[in-house]
A and B are shown apart, each in its own frame.
Chain A
Amino acid sequence: QVQLQQWGAGLLKPSETLSLTCAVSGGSFSGYFWGWIRQPPGKGLEWIAEINHSGGTKYKPSLRSRVTISLDTTKNQFSLRVRSVTAADTAVYYCVRGPKYSSPDHWGQGTLVTVSS
Chain B
Amino acid sequence: DIQMTQSPSAMSASVGDRVTITCRASQDINDYLAWYQQKPGKVPKRLIYAASSLQSGVPSRFSGRGFGTEFTLTISGLQPEDLGTYYCLQHNSYPWTFGQGTKVEIK
A-side interface residues, number (CB < 8 Å): 17
A61 at the B interface (CB under 8 A) = yes
- Which residue of chain A lies nearest to B100 when distances are taken between CB atoms in the complex? A44
Contacts of B99 in A (CB 8 A): 44
B59 at the A interface (CB under 8 A) = no
Contact indicator B87/A104 (Cβ below 8 Å): no
Contact of A105 among B32, B46, B94, B100 (CB under 8 A): B46
Contact indicator B98/A104 (Cβ below 8 Å): no
Contacts A58-B94, A59-B95, A105-B55 given; 5 further ones with Cβ under 8 A?
A: A45-B36, A60-B95, A61-B1, A103-B32, A103-B46
Contacts of A65 in B (CB 8 A): none
Contact indicator B96/A47 (Cβ below 8 Å): yes
23 intermolecular pairs with C-beta atoms under 8 Å apart: A44-B87, A44-B98, A44-B99, A45-B44, A45-B87, A45-B98, A46-B98, A47-B95, A47-B96, A61-B1, A94-B43, A94-B44, A103-B32, A103-B34, A103-B89, A104-B34, A105-B46, A105-B49, A107-B43, A107-B44, A107-B45, A108-B43, A109-B43
List the 10 closest pairs (A to B, CB-CB), nearest first.
Answer: A103-B34, A47-B96, A60-B95, A45-B98, A107-B43, A44-B101, A58-B94, A103-B91, A44-B100, A105-B46
- Which residue of chain B lies nearest to A47 when distances are taken between CB atoms in the complex? B96
B-side interface residues, number (CB < 8 Å): 23
Q: Which of B16-61 contact A (CB under 8 A)?
A: 32-34, 36, 43-46, 49-50, 55
Given contacts A45-B44, A107-B43, contact A61 B91 (CB under 8 A): no
Q: Within the assembled complex, what's the spacing in Å between the Cα atoms of A44 and B82? A: 18
Q: Within the assembled complex, what's the spacing in Å between the Cα atoms of A105 and B49? A: 9
